[in-house]
Each structure stands twice: as C-alpha cells, then as structure tokens.
Structure 1
Amino acid sequence: MGVLTDYFRAPGAAAVVRALELTGGARPEFGEASEGAFDGVMAKGVDPGVLLGQLVAAIRAEPWRVDLVEDAAVWPTTPQPGPDGPWSEDDPWSTGPWVTELDDAARDALAEVRDDRIPAAVARWAEAAEWHGADPADLLPLAEDLIALARRARTAGERLYCWICL
C-alpha cells in the first residue's frame, strides 16, 4: 500500500474546502479552473515534509530538516483529536484523506529555481534515502512539473496544497 499525494494550487483554503465538501474529500479534479477543479500534479508518495522538503533543500543547496516545508491542515474540517484521542474507525483524522496548505517559502523556493540549476538539484534530490537509488533522469519530469506548478501558483497569487490519501 502506498501513500497517494497530489499537489495543486488554489486561491485559498476556503476554495479547497468548498471543493472537497462537494466530493466528500475525494481527490480534487485537475484541469481547467472551475468549481472543484484545480491545476495540479500527481506525485505519488512525495509527502510535503520529507520528499518535497528534500527537493526544496536541494534547490536551496542547504541541508534538509524536518520543518523546512511548513504546512497546515485544511481538511478534514472537524477538530483534530488530541494525542490521546478520542479516535474511532470512522474518524476522518484516522482515515483521511487529508489536505495541507504549504507555506509560501516552499512555493517560492520551487518557483525561483533557475532552469539551468534544476538538473543539479534533482541529482541531489535523488540521493534521498527514500528514493532507494532512483535515477535522477526518472525524477526530473516530476520535479519540473512541481516547479512549473509552483511558478503558476506564485504568478496567480495562489497557495500550494497537498492532498494525501492512504
């Protein structure tokens, strides 16, 4: 079982919540901007904190750290239980999906990388243990898609979001 992660851009958390309320939290549609459809990238297994954070670190040429990409929960909208619960089988915080809003610093790091520096950053990104020795050439298209999405988000004055499902 893998973790599904999709990144998309939206004008704000309220627009994301409205779209997710229409679908019960289902994966947002990607395509032309309309109610419930977003400009996005499917990035299976690229979680915001670790793998996206390692791409941001590679772009910035700095060490990765767990708090490099800050994110805040947007979905589910029910109050999150404390560490001791109450948890139940049907609690959306246990079952997902989850959506987080990424900080603008991560978006901007992706958006600002020069095109001629992308291959070197991806080569460094491929060294992450979580990639298990992946070939940088295989990761380059995904990195380019994430960078292009961040550029479009910044140009539009929008935020980046990550939809996560088990």
Structure 2
Amino acid sequence: MGIRTEYFAAPTDEAAASVLDVPGGPSEPDLRTHQPRFDAVVLPSVDPFVMLGGLAGVLSGRPYREVTAHPRHGALVCDSGEEGPWVVSVAQPLLDDLASAGPARLVEAARAWSGTGGPTAPRRNLVAALLPLAALATRAADAGHGLYCWTSLTD
C-alpha cells in the first residue's frame, strides 16, 4: 500500500477542507465547469511530513527539527478517519522558500535533498517534482493563498 499526495493552493483552511470528499482529490474536475477544483500538482509519494520537512530544511538552511516544529507543518486541516483521505497544511515559510527559489536553486536543493536520507529517487526526478511544486507555490503566493496536501492511501 502506498500514498497518493496532491498539493494544492486554497485561500483558507475551510476552502481546502471542501476537497475532502472529492474522490479524485483537488485536481478532479468540477462537474459543472469541467475545470479542476483547485490549482494542484500530483506528487506521488512525496509526503507532507518527513519529505517536505527535509526539503524545508534544505531550502531554509534550518535544522529538520526546527522546520517540522512549525505549527502549520503537516497540520491536520480535516480528515475522513483512519483510512483517509486527509488534508494537511504546508507551512508558510516553505511556501515562501519554494516561491522565491529559481530553477538553479531548485536543482541545488534537489541535490542536497537527496543527500538528507529523504527521497531516494534520482536527482532529475526530484527536480522534476520540485519545479511544478515551486510553480504552484509561486501562484499561491501571488494569490495570497496557502498550500495544502490532500493525501490518500492507494492499493
């Protein structure tokens, strides 16, 4: 069993929570508009707790323990019980760091991130994950929105 993680931008916790009962997650098209419900990127198996904590530490230069102690790091916004899905928040400092990092910094962060004992994927895969996540963070910051992660168990 694995996890499916979809990161998305929303204006408030309440708006983010509205996606909880959408079977396909935040990028699932709205039946009325046929548009995705939220601006989102799917990052399979990039968990919002440990892996994003490692990334936050790399981008900020602060210790893992410090960045994961932020009250909004992986804070539960809403859940559907033990089987999920769940919606958690991404801490504002990580959103800001992602939004302000250019491509060169993201490549450097992917290299450092792969050396933290976090993701075991090749660096090019980490860069491929970081680029859309950073673009999403930039759009969220421009709109004054927060970042969230919708997480679901997969078979």
Q: TM-score, normalised by structure 1?
A: 0.77
Alignment gaps of 5+ in structure 2: none
Q: For structure 1, which segment, 65-74 or 107-116, has the greater mean C-alpha deviation from structure 2 after superposition?
A: 65-74
> CA, structure 1 residues 31+150, in 2 after alignment: closer, same or farther (shift >3 Å)?
farther
> CA, structure 1 residues 62+31, in 2 after alignment: closer, same or farther (shift >3 Å)?
farther
Larger radius of gyration: 1
> CA, structure 1 residues 35+100, in 2 after alignment: closer, same or farther (shift >3 Å)?
farther
Q: Which of 108, 114, 119 is the matching residue for 2:96?
A: 108
- Counting aligned pairs with the same residue, the percent is 33
Partner of 2:82, secondary structure, is: helix
Matched, 1:99 2:120: no
- Aligned residue type for 1:93: G
Deviations 1:20-68 (A, max 9, x none): 3xx4565122579988711111111111121112112111233322425
Q: Which of 69, 74, 78 is the matching residue for 1:71?
A: 74
Deviations 1:71-93 (A, max 9, x none): 322222xxxxxxxxxxxxxxx32
Alignment gaps of 5+ in structure 1: 77-91
- Aligned residue type for 2:78: W
Matched, 1:162 2:154: no
* Separation of aligned partners in 2, 1:146 and 1:28: 14
Q: Which of 124, 127, 131 is the matching residue for 2:115?
A: 127
Q: TM-score, normalised by structure 2?
A: 0.82
Does structure 1 conserve the Cα–Cα contact (< 8 Å) formed by 2:5 and 2:44? Answer: yes
Which 4+ residue blocks in structure 1 deviate beyond 6 angstroms?
31-36
* Separation of aligned partners in 1, 2:152 and 2:133: 19
Q: How many residues align?
A: 148
